[in-house]
Structure 1
């Protein structure tokens, strides 16, 4: 989940024209709820993922729906530093253990989220820590987290959201101040590789489709980090979609990202009906909003399917049902009437479900 949702130009005229034509046909999709949906994991040509938290493990319907639809699980909160990092650099992975054990006990593969994030860890990793200890504890944390689940995580979001909101550059944070704006990223990837040589290591970011300049900055960063020796194994695009972005944005980003040859993870997909920020009233009808939603989600699924098979790491929604979404929760965006996922609270298909299935099949 991003701290704020509002957060390679090799395009050709022909490619953009085809993208516009392909994407906008979804806008005519019927916005009525669908029937009992087929299992997404059986329809997807790659692992289909969702998120899980310890509180959900005791909810029988959540368990039933997750095992019906998902083949991969991402701990939504349990591996973030606000949960795992204590005072004086103590570590507590007990909550993450529960989610990982649940997943493996039910035949799901697990994706680790997240190791180094600009928005977390500053309370402990602060300016009062001597440089030598800062580096040592940085390395020790990554070794502890990744090493604990060595062989049990198929991949990790090693660095999360390093690009500035508008895509004009990279974020300044406690990590960059101590280790350098690119240095902390290279170090994190190298330490993660030492801790688990077989896990696929991802650079993960949001708004790559929504803001083309940010997508360009991100892909240039990947190229630069690789040259600096960071063992980046994959690209994570969170895909918290703004359903009002122009047709073609998503297709163009995926085409540019694919040119790097790395596996791509749609890592945190959701698609709010709400217009984030701004002061003008939202005069769109519910039918119009659903049509926009279906159009953009359909474009995303088709752009993902256009990737070579070896580059389709996984397709993950950030929550499985609307009622699971951080956008509805009081500690999230607190929009209880939003509908940002493929399934409704009862596990029935939302309109975008069919667009995804059509692209997959």
Structure 2
């Protein structure tokens, strides 16, 4: 058995010195070969032209989620036309390489569509149903699951968001309707309610789980729980595991859908050393992975990291980025970060 403390201590020392080129070969075993569930990442079609990205993805992953090219802002034009070039390329890439396709997202509060803003009343409802059914039906039999509704809970966890969809169909109404339409369109896909900060903010996690409970009691066909797991590395130990125990009580499949763990500090002076930040990061990521491994096997839908290399991360596209954040499993040279070892060891020990 691998001694996690020895390998991780070596990785931490190298990371603290900035010696990523000399990192130990801790990525020799592909994650997909040791995990008894799918390992996923996100993708944009431009990455298919990058042989290093393709090699890293196919070495470690068995599932792919479109990062944004299957979202409404890509597919639906301001005048109501649909475009399929990029999402079709992603679906075809999955077919060619034997990867599971996971679809995201059918309805998202952030998709403030100009086309839907021009509609009202019965026309709005008809087009809402048509959009969900058209997209889900196109990938029926190819997409193993869908984020049907994304980020419905308010930022601070105090209730649900007000958005274009809730204004037209009601805060619970737009959610229920989306799941009903998705179920009609793709009855075999696993249908997820997905959100973020569920581990980071207990209030938000509790509101989210109450929403799941309310929907299930109303007969809404929610088939799974998606937790994005953009982890705050400073949250207290045990908080992530507590959320997973609560979420598991529904018996639904759970998807770690967008894992990353930024080293950046937001809104305060940061006196921590790089080593301290990496220790916090690996501890929180290890706890998350262990909590996922503690689920019954039938509830482990997939474990998806939101990007392959640090330089692929949405966090590195932020205007505030200083080029030093390391939120993913691999660095720019596709060498394993300490976070990789935390995930790998937790999976091995939990099997």
TM-score, normalisation: structure 2? 0.92
Which residue number corresponds to residue 336 of structure 1? 323
Looking at structure 1, the residues matched to 73 and 228 of structure 2 have their Cα atoms a distance apart, in angstroms, of: 20
Residue 214, structure 1, aligned to residue 204, structure 2: yes
Q: 1:180-212 CA distances to partner (integer Å, 9 max, x unpaired)?
A: 100000000000000011000000000000000
Which residue number corresponds to residue 260 of structure 2? 270
Instruction: Tell me the SS of whatever aligns to 1:124.
Output: helix
Looking at structure 1, the residues matched to 135 and 198 of structure 2 have their Cα atoms a distance apart, in angstroms, of: 27
Structure 1 residue corresponding to 2:126, chosen from 114, 133, 136:
136
Residue 77, structure 1, aligned to residue 68, structure 2: yes
Instruction: Tell me the SS of whatever aligns to 2:103.
Output: strand
Instruction: Tell me the SS of whatever aligns to 2:137.
Output: helix
Which residue number corresponds to residue 196 of structure 1? 186
Q: Unaligned regions of 5+ residues in structure 1, if any?
A: 1-24
Structure 1 residue corresponding to 2:281, chosen from 293, 299, 302:
293
Looking at structure 1, the residues matched to 219 and 169 of structure 2 have their Cα atoms a distance apart, in angstroms, of: 15
State the Cα distance separating 1:343 from its structure 2 match.
1.1
Maintained 8 Å contact 1:71/1:109: yes
Residue 347, structure 1, aligned to residue 337, structure 2: no
Looking at structure 2, the residues matched to 330 and 315 of structure 1 have their Cα atoms a distance apart, in angstroms, of: 24
Maintained 8 Å contact 2:68/2:74: yes
Looking at structure 2, the residues matched to 217 and 319 of structure 1 have their Cα atoms a distance apart, in angstroms, of: 28
State the Cα distance separating 1:36 from its structure 2 match.
4.7
State the Cα distance separating 1:130 from its structure 2 match.
2.3
Looking at structure 1, the residues matched to 36 and 281 of structure 2 have their Cα atoms a distance apart, in angstroms, of: 22
Which residue number corresponds to residue 311 of structure 1? 299
Instruction: Tell me the SS of whatever aligns to 2:116.
Output: coil
Q: CA RMSD in A?
A: 1.5
State the Cα distance separating 1:282 from its structure 2 match.
0.8
Maintained 8 Å contact 2:8/2:341: no
Within 5 Å, give how 1:1-361 maps onto structure 2: 29-30=8-9, 31=12, 32=14, 33-37=23-27, 38-126=29-117, 128-276=118-266, 278=267, 280-330=268-318, 334-361=321-348
State the Cα distance separating 1:330 from its structure 2 match.
4.7
Residue 113 to residue 34, structure 1, CA distance change in 2 (3 Å): farther
Maintained 8 Å contact 2:38/2:63: yes
Residue 262 to residue 335, structure 1, CA distance change in 2 (3 Å): farther
Which residue number corresponds to residue 19 of structure 2? none
Q: 1:84-107 CA distances to partner (integer Å, 9 max, x unpaired)?
A: 110222111211000110011100
State the Cα distance separating 1:34 from its structure 2 match.
3.8
State the Cα distance separating 1:334 from its structure 2 match.
3.4
Maintained 8 Å contact 1:305/1:360: yes
Looking at structure 2, the residues matched to 178 and 223 of structure 1 have their Cα atoms a distance apart, in angstroms, of: 23
Instruction: Tell me the SS of whatever aligns to 1:87.
Output: coil
| Paired residue total | 332
Looking at structure 1, the residues matched to 160 and 62 of structure 2 have their Cα atoms a distance apart, in angstroms, of: 34
Maintained 8 Å contact 1:159/1:185: yes
Q: Which fold has the larger relative contact order, with Cα–Cα distance below 8 Å and residues 6 or more apart in sequence?
A: 1
Q: 1:111-170 CA distances to partner (integer Å, 9 max, x unpaired)?
A: 0010100011332211x4121110011001011100000000000000000000111110
Q: 1:244-278 CA distances to partner (integer Å, 9 max, x unpaired)?
A: 000011000000000110000000000000012x2
Q: Unaligned regions of 5+ residues in structure 2, if any?
A: 15-22
Instruction: Tell me the SS of whatever aligns to 2:257.
Output: strand
Which residue number corresponds to residue 18 of structure 2? none
Looking at structure 1, the residues matched to 49 and 338 of structure 2 have their Cα atoms a distance apart, in angstroms, of: 28
